[in-house]
Each structure stands twice: as C-alpha cells, then as structure tokens.
Amino acid sequence: MADKRTMTLNLTDDEMNALDALSSRYDMTKTAIIRKALRMYQVIDTRLQRGEKLFMEDEVEKKKSELLVL
Amino acid sequence: MSNGSIPIRLLDLHQDAVVEALLHQGLTEEQIQRAQADWEPVRKQAIETLLERGYPIQELPKHWGWDWTRKISRLGNPLLGFYGLECEGKMQGLLEVAKEGYLAKLPVQKGKPLIYVKYLETAPWNIKILEPKPRFGGIGSRLMRAAIELSLSEDCKGRVGLHSLPGDKKGEPEWFYQHVCKMEPIEAERDGEGLLYFELTAEKAEEFLKGGKS
C-alpha cells in the first residue's frame, strides 16, 4: 500500500456539511470521500486536457448536458 | 505504477511445502508482458491436449482467451488497481480491480461503494483441469484476499463485487466465488454477456480474512 501523508483542510460550514452528507450516505470516512473525489477529478482532468468533454446524460428525458470542470 | 510488493506464502503442491512469494501491489508494463508471454504457450498447449482428449470445447476455461497486455494502457489509472502474485520468477496469478464506480446490490449493503473485481486469473499451471495436482494452490483465494484488503483500506468495509465466468461445478469459477469466497449470487444482476453477479458482504469479508493464513 502507498505511504500516506497528513494535511489540514480548511472548509466552510457548507462544504463541511456536504462532506458530512456524502460520508453518511456512502458509509465512508471524510478522508475516503476526499480521496475518491480527488481520483475522479484526476481522471476527468486528464481527459479534459486531451480535449475531451464531460457530459451528464438523463436517459429518461434523453437529455445530455455538458459539465464544466475547472 | 507500483505501490510495492509484500512477502507472502504459497502452498507448493508438488513439494507439499510452504514457499515464499511476492504480492505485487501495482504492476509494470514489463511484468504484464512477461506474464502473458509465460502463460500463453502453456494455455495453447493445454487447449490442444484437452481437445485431443475429447474435452468439450465449450467447457474450456474462458479466461484462457484473455490477453493481459491489452490492459497495459490502463496502468496508472487512479480508478483501477493491478496486482500480481509472483513465485519462482513467474507470475502465478493476476488481478485487476476498479476502485470507483460500483455500488453494492445486496439489500443489506445496497448503495454502498465496493471494490469491483474486473479480472482475476490464475496461471494455467495452477488450475486442476490438466493435472489433479497443480503447481501452487490458493492463488485465487490470495488474490481475493488482496481485493478485500484493498476494500478495507478504501473504507469500503470489505465489500467486493464481480461478474463470474460460468461454471458451478467444484473448482469452477462460480463455485469458487460462492463456496470458497462466500459471496452471494444475485441472478437479477447478470451482465450483458449473461455472467452471474456475486457480492461479498462486510461480515463475510471479515470471516474470509480470519480464515486466511498469510
């Protein structure tokens, strides 16, 4: 397993509430949620850098919308 | 990308002895190419031998058609994990897992994230189809253990899911996942190819780990 390092994270109340909600919904620690989010961001960013686009699709409504990622 | 290797023990069934091996957590392109090059001629020879013996072609192990070198482009993808079990300078088993994008289906853990086993294969000389006594034993179990340990370290509580290759006779894939790994089959979750879905609960994962030796 890769070595891990510790850091302090400063979040607003809203951000912390969002993190709490995700942590509770998925039965995971906040650290695990942030690690997952970072991994997803990393993959999305790599593909956006290649010139690809990220879409969300609503199968019922047959709608696609482009998602902007910074 | 490699996260290091840890020493483990395997059972050498020919010598009836416990031997030292390495579990690689993360694989390199070279390791995958070498494994494929070692396995492919043995698989081909085994297929010829079995067909000559009148073995039904539809019952040959489906994973003998897998080409692990096609997965090389996915090395380094942070959403995936690759593992290899090496002993006596050869890869004895390979595993690819997805760390993201899969949620549990069993009612007791529905909607919770899990580790999804995409591919798990034992080297052709370690399965019983040709000889009653293969070279090394417990490769599949040790790789499943690696998937469970990853699930714990990812805070998925030991939950693991997979779609199994067919075969429910003793020693075949579905039998292995259900009776050795204690995973529950879910008929309604068969994939597009008709492969049966199996899932391991947190409780059964703990039991499985307690039953393991290394």
Domains of chain B: 5-211 (3.40.630.30)
pLDDT band at A64 (very low <50, low <70, confident <90, very high): confident
Tell me whether residues B100 and A39 touch, CB distance under 8 A. yes
pLDDT of residue B1: 54
User: Which of A22, A24, A26 is the best residue to mutate to test the B interface, defined by the most B CB atoms within 10 Å of its own CB?
Assistant: A26
Percentage of chain B modeled with pLDDT above 90: 87
Mean pLDDT, all residues of chain B: 94
Answer whether A28 touches B (CB < 8 Å).
Answer: yes
State the pairing for strand pair A54-58/B136-137.
unpaired
Answer whether A40 touches B (CB < 8 Å).
Answer: yes
pTM (2 d.p.): 0.92
- If one compares B133 and A27, the residue with the highest pLDDT of the two is A27
Question: Closest residue of A to B202, CA-based?
Answer: A27
Shortest Cα–Cα distance, A55 to chain B (Å) = 16
Per-residue pLDDT, averaged over A47-65, amounts to: 89
Own/partner pairs, B29-36, CB within 8 angstroms, 24+ separation: B29/B72, B29/B75, B31/B84, B31/B91, B32/B68, B32/B69, B32/B71, B32/B72, B32/B75, B32/B82, B32/B84, B32/B94, B33/B69, B33/B72, B34/B91, B35/B68, B35/B84, B35/B90, B35/B91, B35/B94, B35/B123, B36/B67, B36/B68, B36/B69
User: Which of A1, A23, A40 is the best residue to mutate to test the B interface, defined by the most B CB atoms within 10 Å of its own CB?
Assistant: A1
Closest Cβ–Cβ partner in A27, A32, A40 for B154? A32
- Whether residue B147 is predicted with pLDDT greater than 90 in this model: the reply is yes
pLDDT band at A63 (very low <50, low <70, confident <90, very high): confident
- Whether residue A23 is predicted with pLDDT greater than 70 in this model: the reply is yes
Answer whether A36 touches B (CB < 8 Å).
Answer: yes
Q: Report the C-alpha gap between B127 and B144 in whole angstroms.
A: 16
Question: Closest residue of A to B81, CA-based?
Answer: A1
Shortest Cα–Cα distance, A20 to chain B (Å) = 15
Tell me whether residues B113 and A2 touch, CB distance under 8 A. no
pLDDT band at B30 (very low <50, low <70, confident <90, very high): very high
- Average the pLDDT over each of A6-20, B2-16, B92-106 and give the range with the smallest value: B2-16
Q: Which two tokens stand for residue A36?
A: 């997952």
Per-residue pLDDT, averaged over B170-186, amounts to: 95
Percentage of chain A modeled with pLDDT above 90: 69
